[in-house]
Amino acid sequence: MTTPRTGRTFRIAAIPADGVGKEVVAAGRAVLDALAKGSGGAFAFAWEEFPWGCGHYAATGRMMDEDGLERLKAFDAIYFGAVGWPTVPDHVSLWGLRLAICQGFDQWANVRPVHFLPGVRSPLRAADDHDLNWVVVRENSEGEYAGLGGRNLSARGPGGEVAVQSSLFTEVGCERVIRFAFDLARTRARRKVSSVTKSNAQQHGMVLWDEVFRRVAGDYPDVETESVLVDAMSAKFVLRPQDLSVVVASNLHADILSDLGSALAGSLGLAASANLNPERRYPSMFEPVHGSAPDIAGRGLANPVGAVGSAALMLDHLGLPDEAARLHRAIAATTAAGVLTPDVGGSAGTEEVTAALIGALDG
């Protein structure tokens, strides 16, 4: 058992949103409440659930209430499911909820660990949970998802419209996330940061990123570095993943690379993520990497490991590192025991895996 550290009640806003988001957030809440119950009063969670998402959009015309950010400000953290459903265009649902929160709360660092778990067979046949383990740090406030641009000239008639989608790279934005990656590398067994760009083809913003990376690296002589183009890095994820520790990349590149990483580990359903406002001026948000999975939603098949791994990242952020480690151990014990959802080759449902996770908390 761990020593009680806080005696605090954490106020958490739950936003399950759409599809399997509802199922995995329920699973994550059950695991966290079991953990709190076993803490002997050391800490507790006070949940408030918000019904925002595509259903809310159908009823109100908005993905979240107009004063949503104002109401969320009061919470210690946000526990998020997944947003998106075939009834609403994806760019409307994503911008109306998840990106509105990330940008509104300046959650500029998105931390996405890739965990290889015992009992889950990776497509990298030789891989196991001992030698592979890296973390993707995604710039989460600008880059390709800055939302700059527009559509025009539709008056020219069919085929005549144009669209401009600009990327935004600021020196401040690059520096803060690159520094964050170096600080994170110093906490890991292998002190190495791999910077990813496509600066050969994108000669403005990504060259600025490369220059800032080289300058910041000078402040961390104890940390190994490399700069790799995104296409080469995608090959490296498959061919030499043992050479990775912290991978820092722009919003779009890290989004794609982290899905590749979690697929290599076995499934998108395993991947956790933290959207951090490191200065703590706003609440940070913790969510599985996957989407709302309409193909399996409502059938009790969703893998809750990504959502529970995200809960562990939330515990770390709340100052409960021992409890976070307990959740990681419970996840490993559950997968090692072969209690797995179908996406990773098992036959257990969400509830069975959740019960096994809760049962493994004492271990």
Ligand X SMILES: NC(=O)c1ccc[n+]([C@@H]2O[C@H](COP(=O)([O-])OP(=O)(O)OC[C@H]3O[C@@H](n4cnc5c(N)ncnc54)[C@H](O)[C@@H]3O)[C@@H](O)[C@H]2O)c1
Angle 251-265/230-239 helices, nearest 10 degrees? 10
Judged by CB under 6 A, does residue 265 bind ligand X? no
CA separation for the pair 283, 47 (Å, rounded): 14
Helices marked H in the chain — which ranges?
Answer: 20-37, 54-60, 68-72, 90-93, 99-104, 171-185, 205-217, 230-239, 251-265, 305-317, 321-336, 350-359
Separation of alpha carbons 240 and 233, rounded Å: 9
- What character string, x for contact with ligand X (CB under 6 A) and - otherwise, covers 290-319? xxxxxxx-----xx--x-------------
Residue 45 or residue 85: which is nearer to ligand X going by CB?
Answer: 85
What residue number has its CB nearest to ligand X? 84
> Could you say whether residue 272 binds ligand X (CB under 6 A)?
no
**In the range 192-221, which residues lie near ligand X by CB under 6 A?**
none
Nearest CB to ligand X, comparing residues 195 and 341: 341
Q: CB of residue 348 vs ligand X: minimum separation in angstroms? A: 11
- Residue 330: closest CA among 311, 347, 314, 344: 311
Q: From CA 286, how far away is CA 17, in angstroms rounded? A: 13
The window from 66-74, 161-169, 213-221, 286-294 that contacts ligand X (CB under 6 A) reads 286-294
Q: Binding residue for ligand X (CB under 6 A) from 12, 13, 20, 276?
A: 20
DSSP state of 212: H
In angstroms, what is the minimal distance from the CB of 294 to ligand X?
6
Q: Cβ–Cβ contacts within 10 Å for residue 320, how many?
A: 25
Q: Residue 105: CB partners within 8 Å, gap ≥ 6?
A: 69, 72, 277, 282, 283, 284, 285
Interface pick for ligand X out of 16, 28, 68, 84 (rule CB under 6 A): 84
DSSP code, position 173:
H
Residue 16 touching ligand X (CB under 6 A): no
To ligand X, the closest distance from the beta carbon of 340 in angstroms equals: 10
Closest CB to ligand X among residues 139, 287: 287
* Contact call for residue 24 and ligand X (CB under 6 A): yes
Q: Which residues pair with 272 in a beta bridge?
A: 288
Nearer to ligand X, 208 or 293 (CB): 293
Residues near ligand X (CB under 6 A) are 20, 24, 82-85, 90, 94, 98, 267-269, 287, 290-296, 302-303, 306, 341, 343
